[in-house]
């Protein structure tokens, strides 16, 4: 039974960040994980997919930002996600921006945050990953400290500590809440950052284990030239993929009283912007690298649109604030129905279908 609709009116009376903390505490007890595991059904076979040599039971993931400190990775997997992404984590612990810094825009199905990479630091994060059984696919999303004068060194430090402990790495250079971070998306800077990050990954892993795929998470606010620069740098350096995209600083028409709060906007209002960015990046990379579609996904139909636009995997977070943990099951069910209705036997067959000539779906 899905009790979230009954609890939601009560939850909305609680400060958004407090409610988030309570959710993490509830998940960390293991009770939710145990109950979810007992009632979890087997995913529809049409949802199984293989990306970067990893076998995903389904392409629906929990985006970074929910489990910032890697506290509930296994609980998220037990809820039915095909993968989950912890972070963003920084080398040193830092408190982030002053509170309040998380706002629900209920009327708009959106969230604004200005956390600023609040983090317990890479060591605490890594120790939690070390205690995991390593069942299920978990990514580590890494960033820089606010006060750091050498951003690349921060990414290197995080990667060297967790590369052996996660299934994939995400270099987050697109949060709008850390001063100077988005400047790293410029072509001259991103090339050096990616080269040094890949060297750090190689040093950390040596010849003992496979290298975890390295993905870069980009902003949706980039113009065509900036997107082209990133695509060229991504292909030239040989990174493994891109997450398209992070929160936006744009403010489309909204009605909530919090609509003009500073910070990154996520949720339903950015869906069109995120989808357009995904289409463009798939074209610019020529479909040569896997993309993760993120931003404004709140239904199976929206997830399917991202896959057709070129996403091999999709992620959501904000939508769960309004629909609860049962949303992952709904999205999977409806996504499977969309795939079968169009005659696809797998997710892989549908990736990029919107870019293929009619009759070659």
pLDDT tens for each residue of 308-327 = 999 999 999 999 999 999 99
Given a cut of 70, whether residue 39 has pLDDT beyond it is no
- Give the pLDDT score at 184: 78
**In contact, 109 and 267? CB cutoff 8 Å:** yes
Given a cut of 80, whether residue 31 has pLDDT beyond it is no
- The arithmetic mean of pLDDT across residues 250-262, rounded, is 97
In a domain, 183, yes or no: yes
Domain of 192, in residue numbers: 4-355
Highest-scoring range by mean pLDDT, 37-51, 105-119, 217-231:
105-119
Q: How confident is the model at residue 134 (pLDDT cuts 50, 70, 90)?
A: confident
pLDDT tens for each residue of 187-240 = 778 899 999 999 999 999 987 678 999 999 999 998 999 899 999 999 999 999
- The arithmetic mean of pLDDT across residues 42-70, rounded, is 97
- Give the pLDDT score at 361: 54
In a domain, 360, yes or no: no
- Give the pLDDT score at 359: 45
**Low-confidence winner among 103-107, 153-157, 182-186, 272-276 (lowest mean pLDDT):** 182-186
In a domain, 361, yes or no: no
- The arithmetic mean of pLDDT across residues 120-142, rounded, is 96
Q: How confident is the model at residue 87 (pLDDT cuts 50, 70, 90)?
A: very high
In a domain, 202, yes or no: yes
Given a cut of 90, whether residue 72 has pLDDT beyond it is yes
Q: How many structural domains are present in the chain?
A: 1
- Give the pLDDT score at 6: 56
Query: How high does pLDDT run on average in the chain?
Result: 92
- Give the pLDDT score at 4: 64
Q: Which of 119, 148, 174, 175 is catalytic?
A: 175
In a domain, 15, yes or no: yes
Given a cut of 50, whether residue 301 has pLDDT beyond it is yes
- Give the pLDDT score at 165: 97
pLDDT tens for each residue of 276-296 = 999 999 999 999 999 999 999
- Give the pLDDT score at 174: 86
**In contact, 87 and 68? CB cutoff 8 Å:** yes
**Low-confidence winner among 81-95, 163-177, 292-306, 328-342 (lowest mean pLDDT):** 163-177
Whether this prediction's pTM lies above 0.75 is answered by: yes
C-alpha closest to that of 164 among 124, 126, 217, 190: 126
- The arithmetic mean of pLDDT across residues 98-112, rounded, is 97
Percent of the chain residues past pLDDT 90, beyond the cut: 82
Which burial class, exposed, middle or buried, applies to 104 when counting CB atoms under 10 A from its CB (0-12, 13-18, 19+)? buried
Question: Does residue 256 have an active-site annotation?
Answer: no
Question: Which position has the higher pLDDT, 204 or 174?
Answer: 204
In a domain, 178, yes or no: yes
């Amino acid at each position: 039974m899905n009790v979230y609709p009954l609890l939601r009116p009560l939850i909305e009376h609680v400060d958004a960040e407090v409610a988030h903390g309570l959710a993490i505490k509830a998940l960390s007890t293991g009770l939710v994980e145990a109950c979810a595991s007992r009632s979890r059904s087997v995913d529809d076979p049409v949802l199984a997919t293989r990306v970067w040599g990893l076998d995903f039971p389904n392409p629906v993931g929990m985006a970074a930002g929910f489990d910032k400190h890697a506290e509930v990775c296994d609980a998220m997997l037990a809820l039915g996600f095909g993968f989950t992404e912890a972070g963003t984590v920084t080398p040193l612990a830092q408190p982030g921006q002053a509170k309040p810094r998380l706002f629900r825009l209920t009327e708009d199905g959106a969230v604004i945050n200005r956390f600023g990479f609040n983090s317990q630091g890479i060591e605490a994060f890594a120790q939690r990953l070390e205690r995991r059984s390593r069942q299920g696919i978990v990514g580590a999303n890494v960033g820089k400290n606010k006060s750091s004068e050498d951003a690349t060194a921060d990414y290197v430090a995080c990667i060297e500590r967790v590369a052996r402990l996660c299934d994939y790495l995400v270099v987050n250079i697109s949060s709008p809440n850390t001063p100077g971070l988005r400047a790293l998306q410029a072509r001259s800077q991103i090339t050096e950052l990616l080269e040094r990050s890949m060297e750090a990954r190689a040093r950390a892993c040596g010849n003992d284990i496979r290298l975890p795929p390295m993905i870069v998470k980009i902003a949706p606010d980039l113009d065509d030239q900036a997107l082209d620069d990133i695509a060229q740098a991504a292909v030239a350096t040989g990174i493994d993929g891109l997450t398209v995209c992070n929160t936006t600083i744009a403010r489309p028409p909204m009605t909530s009283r919090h609509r003009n709060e500073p910070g990154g906007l996520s949720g339903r209002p950015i869906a069109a912007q995120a989808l357009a960015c995904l289409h463009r990046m798939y074209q610019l990379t020529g479909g040569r690298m896997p993309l993760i579609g993120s931003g404004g996904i709140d239904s199976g139909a929206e997830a399917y649109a991202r896959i057709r636009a070129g996403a091999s995997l999709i992620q959501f977070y904000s939508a769960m604030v309004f629909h609860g943990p049962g949303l992952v099951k709904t999205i999977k069910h409806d996504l499977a129905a969309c795939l079968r209705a169009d005659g696809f036997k797998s997710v892989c067959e549908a990736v990029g279908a919107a870019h293929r000539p009619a009759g070659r779906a």
